[in-house]
């Protein structure tokens, strides 16, 4: 699972560099996220703008990441493409996560908080 991460205090931005988060990569995704965010600041933005497909395993991996970060840190999601956004809304995960239409929107809202 290819991810990139950069820290811009008080945020860490993790970008998914692949177009799918599914059963085939869910375990790798969880482990990569765990390693990248182990010493993250209090807010982590997961940029999903390259992801065009997510299944229940992928959704579960993102939820597991949120639980790993809690309670000290918050996971925010940005750049959900249409199909990914639909999965989050159908499963009511849009009420669990803060969703932003783009990374730029997330940064605009979060910088200075």
* pLDDT at residue 31 is higher than 90: yes
Mean pLDDT of 46-60: 98
Is 113 among the domain residues?
Answer: no
Beta strands in the chain (DSSP E): 3-8, 11-16, 20-21, 43-47, 53-54, 74-78, 98-100
Q: How many domains does the chain fold into? A: 1
Is 46 among the domain residues?
Answer: yes
Which residues constitute the domain of residue 91?
Answer: 3-105
- At 57-109, the pLDDT tens digits run 999 999 999 999 999 999 999 999 999 999 999 999 999 999 999 999 999 99
pLDDT of residue 74: 97
| CA distances in angstroms from 38 to 70, 97, 108, listed in the order given | 12, 20, 24
Is 62 among the domain residues?
Answer: yes
Is 13 among the domain residues?
Answer: yes
Domain CATH number, residue 41: 3.30.750.24
Helix (H, G, I), strand (E, B) or coil at 75: strand
Q: Which helix (H) or strand (E) holds 1?
A: none
* pLDDT at residue 111 is higher than 90: no
pLDDT of residue 110: 93
């Amino acid at each position: 699972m290819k991810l990139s991460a950069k820290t811009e205090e008080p945020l860490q931005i993790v970008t998914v560099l692949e177009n799918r988060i599914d059963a085939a990569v869910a375990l790798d995704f969880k482990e990569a996220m765990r390693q990248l965010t182990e010493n993250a600041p209090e807010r982590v933005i997961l940029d999903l703008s390259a992801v065009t497909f997510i299944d229940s395993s992928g959704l579960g991996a993102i939820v597991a990441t949120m639980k790993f970060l809690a309670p000290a840190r918050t996971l925010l999601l940005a750049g959900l493409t249409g199909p990914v956004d639909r999965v989050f809304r159908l499963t009511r995960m849009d009420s669990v996560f803060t969703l932003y239409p783009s990374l730029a929107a997330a940064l605009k809202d979060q910088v200075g908080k």
